[in-house]
Amino acid sequence: MKKRKPLRAPHAPESRSQKRKRGPGRPFKKGRSGNPARQFKKGISGNPGGYSRAKLLSDASREWLAEVDEKTGLTNAVLVVRAMGKKLLQGSAQHYTAMADRTEGRPPQAITLGGEVQLTVAEIDARLDRLLRKVRSREKENAPTAGLLQ
């Protein structure tokens, strides 16, 4: 009579020596997780609602700034600006910067680039021509995008 092998789960290795070691961060075979019931299903988003775009602090601040003060009849936004103005008039550089940034916009940051360009105008033109030919040939291959560069 033939000896029968003991029944094992189909995914279980035959022996410890046959067990394939997996590297760190790859404890399961590709396409499998520890809990198949929780795997992503095809055609169903893993995050159907998307990420929340709610900005609770910003929304609450806007609401508060729009409220009207009962004593003065002015909005909180106007009162904040007046308080900043008083500090500014006392010589506060921090309040000056904050006021200027909000009214004039932050000044653009200067960027200094160094180095030398070692190509002549003719070489740059030749490279651009080669790149344009490449793009046009890819456009012809991909019919839906044909005609973008003419």
Give 73-110 pLDDT, tens digit per residue. Answer: 999 999 999 999 999 999 999 999 998 888 888 888 88
H/E stretch holding 87 reads: helix 76-89
Determine, yes or no, domain membership for 34: no
Q: What is the domain range of residue 92?
A: 56-104
Determine, yes or no, domain membership for 67: yes
pTM to 2 decimals? Answer: 0.39
Determine, yes or no, domain membership for 89: yes
Look up residue 107 and give its DSSP letter. Answer: P
Determine, yes or no, domain membership for 72: yes
Lowest model confidence (mean pLDDT) among 5-14, 50-59, 87-96, 111-120: 5-14
H/E stretch holding 89 reads: helix 76-89
Determine, yes or no, domain membership for 95: yes
Residue type (1 letter), 106: R
- Quote the Cα angle for 122-126-130, to 5°: 170
Residue type (1 letter), 82: R
Determine, yes or no, domain membership for 17: no
- Give the total number of structural domains in the chain: 1
Q: Which residue reads 């360009």 in tokens?
A: 117
Determine, yes or no, domain membership for 73: yes
Summarised one tens digit per residue, pLDDT across range 30-40 is 666 667 676 66
Determine, yes or no, domain membership for 31: no
